[in-house]
Amino acid sequence: MKLKHSLFTRRQFLNGLFGGWLTALLASFLYPIIKFIFPPTREPDQVILPFPDFKDMGPNSVRVFSWGAKPGLLKKNEDGTLRAFVGVCTHLDCNVTYLPGQRKFFCACHDGWYDENGRNIGGPPPKPLRQLIIVIEGEDLIIKREGVE
Amino acid sequence: MSIKDTKTWIQEWLDERSGLSSITKFLREKKIPQHKHSIWYYTGSAILLFFTIQVITGFVLVFYYSPTLEEANQSVGRIMTEVPFGWIIRSVHSWSASFMIAFVFVHLLSIWITKSYRRPREATWMSGVILLVFTLAFGFTGYLLPWDDLSLAATKVGTDIPRSIPVVGIWGTRFLRGGEDITGDTLTRFFGFHVSILPVLLFILLAVHIYLVQKHGMSLPLTARRKNERFVELPFWPNFVYREMVVWLILVGVLFSVAVFLPPSLEKAADLMAPAPEGIKPEWYFLFLFQTLKVFPAKILFITGDTIAILLILLAVIFLFFLPLIDNRPAERKGKIITFIAYVFIMYAVVMTVWSLI
């Protein structure tokens, strides 16, 4: 039955109401499930390492630390300065290794190469290795994500 | 009541309540045409054979395997060294997976080249392509479970692949990994996929696929359809089933032989902080994709190479799925271009695989 000037019948209205209600109910069930499937991201803002442990590093060498669930690479350059990288390939996320003899970072998964400053120079990697910021405060070696105060 | 009477009584009792006799009647009357391409009819049941072996060996492997960061590698080691016959059960599970996937490829290509996907079998083909994806997903998730260096590196790459697809891809990576990175959660999640989610999905789709095959009957090859060739038809039961059993016996013999002499290795437990081991390779059925990702340059124009590679692979899968709608000509027409594409695909896979090994 349709009232005069009405755009839809009473049945259509009720069907729409019922359908909308069912959709809303379903969404309220799905929402927590979808949230449950995707856990919050866990990249740390910073990690604090005991600086004395890294003082004995020779020049042109790399030490691994935990950057969340990824390896972080702390590199001592020839001139004694330090640099920190996230040690995963920018191609498809494999862990890279430093080859001191060749002064290059290398990813074994698809033959990716980076120079000693982390610039991508060969193979499929599209971007340089991600750099982290190093701050030394007394005995603490603080390694931060870029943009973290 | 004699034994024979009891048997009849049980059959009648069951039939009255279940209607099973309609199925047995169907199977008794089912006919399998015999012609020079009939050999491909055996590939389907060979896949089922290996799948059954996977289910049985998988059931028992679960009794000892523990899907946690601390214990996964150790528990597989225990299966291999301490549990009676554990080594052969794992070896059969690993090899049977390879055999199953090999036969899935042969099954698919034989149907592609004989154009058996044409009307009215489009839905059968499409359910088959989804089954192929599920089968590969089984292989991919199972590969991580021993949790050694190789399996970790392969999973890192595999789960990072969706990320290359713009916008939506990142959610795929997060869904597969349970977060941004691979952690113990990823291992537990993959175990869940491998032993509960994928089996349920596969069983449902397999039922649909087998139902559709029965509904339409065996497809005839082009030549037979064109020339109205006369050929012999074998009764499915018992003649064809006996022939299949001979094939199964040979396959089981080969499977057990390689499983005994070439058991899969187990490297030391994966270390999330260690660099990827040199010379890493995925399972053989992913080698051509692996090589594709390796040879694509870092940048093509302004887009990253792996994004293009992955979009191309995705496009190929979509093409495969919609093949019956793309080639929707009547069943008796030839399809030279479609056959040609199949051979190009085979050549590409073979060349890339060989290239990845040298």
Does the beta-carbon distance from B294 to A66 stay under 8 Å? no
Does the beta-carbon distance from B275 to A123 stay under 8 Å? no
B248-275 as b/e: b if 16+ CB within 10 A: beebbeebbeebeeebbebeebbebebb
Q: Say if the ipTM goes beyond 0.90.
A: no
Position A5 scores a pLDDT of 80
Terminal CA-to-CA distance of chain B, rounded, Å?
Answer: 72
Q: Which residue has the tokens 């920018």?
A: A90
| Nearest-by-Cβ selection for B275 from A92, A95, A110 | A95
For residues A124-146, give the mean pLDDT: 90
Q: What is the pLDDT of residues B227-284, one digit of tens each?
A: 666 678 889 988 999 999 999 999 999 999 999 999 998 988 998 888 888 878 888 9
B187 in Cβ contact with B72 (< 8 Å): yes
Residue A39 with chain B: CB contacts under 8 Å: 178-179, 185
Residue A40 with chain B: CB contacts under 8 Å: 179
Position A1 scores a pLDDT of 65
Q: What is the mean pLDDT of chain B?
A: 91
Which residue in B130, B267, B180, B286 sits closest to A88, CA to CA?
A: B180
Does the beta-carbon distance from B161 to A92 stay under 8 Å? yes
Q: Quote the minimal CA–CA distance from B294 to chain A in Å.
A: 5
For residues B34-52, give the mean pLDDT: 93
| Closest-approach residue (CA) in chain A for B296 | A124
| Nearest-by-Cβ selection for A92 from B160, B273, B298 | B160
| Nearest-by-Cβ selection for A39 from B171, B179, B305 | B179
**C-alpha–C-alpha distance, residues B329 and B335, integer Å:** 9
**C-alpha–C-alpha distance, residues B195 and B59, integer Å:** 9
| The two three-digit tokens of residue B100, written as one number | 């199953």
- Backbone phi, then psi, for B281, in 5-degree steps? -145, 145
| Closest-approach residue (CA) in chain A for B160 | A92
- Assign domain B35-268 one CATH number from 2.30.42.10, 1.20.810.10, 3.20.20.80, 2.30.30.830: 1.20.810.10
Q: What is the pLDDT of residues A100-121, one digit of tens each?
A: 999 999 998 888 999 999 999 9
Least confident of A2-6, B75-79, B98-102, B151-155: A2-6
| Nearest-by-Cβ selection for B178 from A39, A91, A127 | A39
A108 in Cβ contact with B276 (< 8 Å): yes
Q: What is the mean pLDDT of chain A?
A: 89
Angstrom distances, CA of residue B159 to CA of B96, B171, B186: 24, 11, 10
Q: Give yes or no for a cis peptide into A32 (omega within 30° of 0).
A: no
| Closest-approach residue (CA) in chain B for A111 | B294
B291, burial (CB in 10 Å: exposed 0-12, middle 13-18, buried 19+): buried
> Does residue A4 sit at the B interface (CB-CB below 8 Å)?
no
> Does residue B301 sit at the A interface (CB-CB below 8 Å)?
no
Q: What is the pLDDT of residues B69-123, one digit of tens each?
A: 999 999 999 999 999 999 999 999 999 999 999 999 999 999 999 889 998 999 9
Domain ranges for chain B, please list them: 35-268
Position B226 scores a pLDDT of 65
Position A43 scores a pLDDT of 82
Q: Which residue has the tokens 């290239």?
A: B355
| Per-window interface: B 129-188 vs A, CB < 8 A | 153, 156-157, 159-161, 163-164, 171, 174-175, 178-183, 185
Q: Does pLDDT of B317 surpass 80?
A: yes
Residue B297 with chain A: CB contacts under 8 Å: 124
Position B329 scores a pLDDT of 85
Greatest mean pLDDT range, A24-33, B220-229, B287-296? A24-33
Position B299 scores a pLDDT of 73
Q: What is the pLDDT of residues A29-85, one digit of tens each?
A: 999 988 888 887 778 888 999 988 888 888 899 999 999 889 999 999 888 889 999
**C-alpha–C-alpha distance, residues B186 and B147, integer Å:** 11
Position B262 scores a pLDDT of 95
For residues A11-26, give the mean pLDDT: 94
The size of the A-B interface in CB pairs under 8 A is 100
Residue A91 with chain B: CB contacts under 8 Å: 293, 298, 306
Position B225 scores a pLDDT of 66
> Does residue A63 sit at the B interface (CB-CB below 8 Å)?
no
> Does residue B300 sit at the A interface (CB-CB below 8 Å)?
no
| The two three-digit tokens of residue B76, written as one number | 């597989």
> Does residue B358 sit at the A interface (CB-CB below 8 Å)?
no
For residue B220, the Cα-to-chain-centroid distance in whole angstroms is 24
For residues B213-237, give the mean pLDDT: 79
Amino acid at B246: V
Length reported for chain A: 149
B40 in Cβ contact with B114 (< 8 Å): yes
A90 in Cβ contact with B304 (< 8 Å): no
Position B277 scores a pLDDT of 85
Q: Which pLDDT band holds residue B17 (cuts at 50, 70, 90)?
A: very high
**Cβ-Cβ contacts under 8 Å for A6 (sequence gap 6 or more):** none
Residue B180 with chain A: CB contacts under 8 Å: 41-43, 68-69
